[in-house]
């Protein structure tokens, strides 16, 4: 009877604010603790992150933040970011926005009326709105649990994914650590000179409204632990209060011996399927009840230093 | 055809890891920007937060964090917390755990083998497992969008809520700012002497596994911006590196003139319905696409200083 009622909700044309269909989580009894799955994943479950996709933010404090770029989703913006890093465009970069439960943002952070440096050669000044891409070619693995923002969510090519089979569009959702391109009002899409990373509960309302270009894979705590900016939206108005960045570079440009090397878990691997199952059904002596589900931002793709 | 397929998913007995039924977000064209709804909400849309439910954490730095306690969900734990605050049990409290994208935790933080003070009179040493409560009596308003962790989510009595109509159980979900009672392994439920607040993407796997007892309503940035603990799980082993707390008190015990006064939006008000609709369908010149949905942790109940 319950199921029939739920089915009727779906069969009816859904008004915008209708009760969502009930979904009954069913915990799995054979789930393995995610940390164990990660530790035991075989070598073939991991893929190298190309140094060409690895952006390194070296804070003046000596701490490093590593970001994996996602040309799969935003090739023009990613090409711009590489060019900014390589050209010295970021002449005196800093973290100039720290908004609690939202984002950390950095770049040159020119003041209103300030003079931005000329764009490096090859940079596309007005990139297309890479707020998503065709679903075709991604072969995503559905997460298997419902989402409040998209018809379907899951993973593809080592990334979280949200998609709409009807429109054929897919996008990299805003999860903790997701990196996006700051922009002004549409149709401006941002050049990639000013970037942010999500530092709070997933602000999925930004999905399909901004170019998401990557994710922080190491050292994010050096950004998130900074004092929140006191101005509106967490901006840090006073230049001396900003968090200075010594250097932004591509790992590919470092001498091989100095390059950090990372791997991410293949999202089409059996290990990853087991990992997601474990995230949805936490076991061990602490958990009395298993959720039987997990949201796409609470099952981050495992990343490790290359062993 | 799409809908029929979705309905078949529901009609079939759902295996633990099945594809969730597709849900198609339908953006609303008449949504109002949430900040505008909050600004225009009439006085009757707000309710006072009783000072008896207001826990104040005064950091040694002079900054204050305000927490609303939730006797609606965990009456025994909340009574314990009031007794701890009033008895001076917290003799030298500190923030001793800051784990990135997870929790901030505080209390006396006794070392392994350290001697905890005797429990104040009236404190229940081993409270019941208040990991949820009967749904009966709550009259929740469903959010109207699907959730990955619970059959239904929404709001009741000024709080976010997850519930299962079949079991008749309801619980206060782990969202950003939710306060819970740290515990060791079950069946221990924690006394309330050691508390944590969620400081990252909602760790909903903790739902129904821990007593959730309230939420931070002001000043959380003074907790979240602290340096992450360097030990496992973000613990700060060295006492001198902890973030000292000068005083933990109940607002009700302060002289009336010194008491901060807060209000939360009534979740059964028309203003709150409009607010949720606005959170699910962000408008204005920035947003090119409306999500048409929002998750329960991304529609926090508005709180304000009493005007």
Tens of pLDDT, residue by residue over A216-259, are 999 999 999 999 999 999 999 999 999 999 999 999 999 999 99
Q: pTM for the full model?
A: 0.93
pLDDT of residue B2: 37
Contact yes or no for A289 and B147 at CB 8 A: no
pLDDT of residue B21: 61
Mean of pLDDT over chain A: 92
CB count in 10 Å sphere of residue A35: 12
User: Which phi-psi region, left, alpha or beta, contains residue A58 (left: φ > 0; alpha: ψ -120 to 50)?
Assistant: beta
pLDDT of residue A19: 54
Contact yes or no for A100 and B143 at CB 8 A: no
Considering only residues B69 and A15, tell me which one the structure prediction assigns the higher pLDDT. Answer: B69
pLDDT in tens, A23-52: 888 899 899 999 999 999 999 999 999 999
CB count in 10 Å sphere of residue B248: 22
| Cβ proximity of A243 and A95 under 8 Å | yes
pLDDT in tens, A81-137: 999 999 999 999 999 999 999 999 999 987 666 778 899 999 999 999 999 999 999
- In terms of Cβ atoms closer than 10 Å to its own Cβ (0-12, 13-18, 19+), residue A285 is exposed
Q: Which of residues 117-146 of A touch B (CB under 8 A)?
A: 129, 131, 142-146
pLDDT in tens, chain B (307 residues): 333 333 333 333 334 445 566 788 889 989 999 999 999 999 999 999 999 999 999 999 999 999 999 999 999 999 999 999 999 999 999 999 999 999 999 999 876 566 788 999 999 999 999 999 999 999 999 999 999 999 999 999 999 999 999 999 999 999 999 999 999 998 899 999 999 999 999 999 999 999 999 999 999 999 999 999 999 999 999 999 999 999 999 999 999 999 999 999 999 999 999 999 999 999 888 998 999 999 999 999 999 999 9
Interface with chain A: mutation pick from B1, B5, B8, B10, highest number of A CBs within 10 Å: B10
Interface with chain A: mutation pick from B7, B20, B206, highest number of A CBs within 10 Å: B20
pLDDT of residue A111: 65
Local structure of residue B235 (DSSP, 8 states) = B
Cβ density class A203-234: b for 16+ within 10 Å, e for less: bbbbbbbbbbbbbbbbbbbbbbbbebbeeeeb
- Which percentage of chain A shows pLDDT scores above 90? 86
Average pLDDT on A158-185 reads 97
Collapsed DSSP state (helix, strand, coil) of residue B213: strand
| Cβ proximity of B72 and B157 under 8 Å | yes
Residue B125 tokens read as 């040493």
pLDDT of residue A113: 65
Residue A18 has pLDDT above 80, yes or no: no
Query: Least CA distance to A142: which residue of chain B?
Result: B19
Q: Which of residues 214-253 of A touch B (CB under 8 A)?
A: 220-221, 224-228
Please give the C-alpha separations between residue B232 and each of A223, B99, B100, B229, B235, in angstroms, as whole numbers.
19, 9, 11, 8, 6
ipTM of model: 0.93
Contacts of B152 in chain A (CB under 8 A): 22
pLDDT in tens, A177-187: 999 999 999 88
């Amino acid at each position: 009877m319950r199921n029939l009622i739920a089915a009727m909700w779906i069969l009816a044309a859904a008004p915008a604010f209708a009760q969502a269909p009930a979904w009954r989580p069913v915990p799995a009894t054979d789930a393995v603790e995610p940390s164990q799955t990660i530790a035991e994943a075989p070598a073939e479950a991991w893929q190298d992150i190309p140094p060409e996709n690895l952006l390194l933010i070296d804070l003046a404090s000596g701490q490093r933040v590593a970001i994996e770029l996602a040309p799969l989703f935003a090739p023009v913006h990613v090409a711009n970011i590489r060019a900014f890093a390589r050209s010295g465009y970021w002449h005196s970069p800093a973290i100039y926005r720290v908004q609690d439960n939202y984002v950390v943002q950095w770049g040159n952070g020119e003041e209103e009326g300030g003079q931005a440096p000329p764009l490096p050669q090859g940079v596309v000044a007005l990139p297309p709105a890479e707020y998503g891409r065709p679903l075709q070619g991604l072969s995503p693995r559905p997460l298997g649990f419902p989402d409040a923002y998209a018809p379907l969510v899951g993973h593809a090519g080592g990334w979280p994914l949200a998609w709409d089979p009807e429109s054929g569009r897919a996008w990299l959702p805003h999860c903790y650590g997701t990196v996006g391109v700051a922009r002004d009002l549409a149709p401006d899409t941002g050049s990639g000179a000013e970037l942010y990373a999500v530092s709070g509960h997933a602000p999925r309302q930004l999905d399909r409204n901004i170019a998401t270009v990557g994710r922080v894979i190491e050292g994010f705590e050096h950004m998130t632990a900074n004092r929140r900016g006191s101005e509106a939206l967490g901006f840090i108005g006073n230049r001396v209060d900003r968090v200075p960045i010594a250097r932004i570079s591509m790992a590919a440009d470092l001498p091989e011996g100095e390059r950090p090397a990372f791997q991410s878990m293949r999202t089409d691997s059996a290990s990853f399927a087991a990992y997601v199952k474990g995230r949805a059904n936490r076991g061990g002596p602490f958990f009395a009840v298993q959720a039987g589900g997990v949201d796409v931002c609470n099952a981050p793709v495992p990343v490790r230093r290359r062993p």
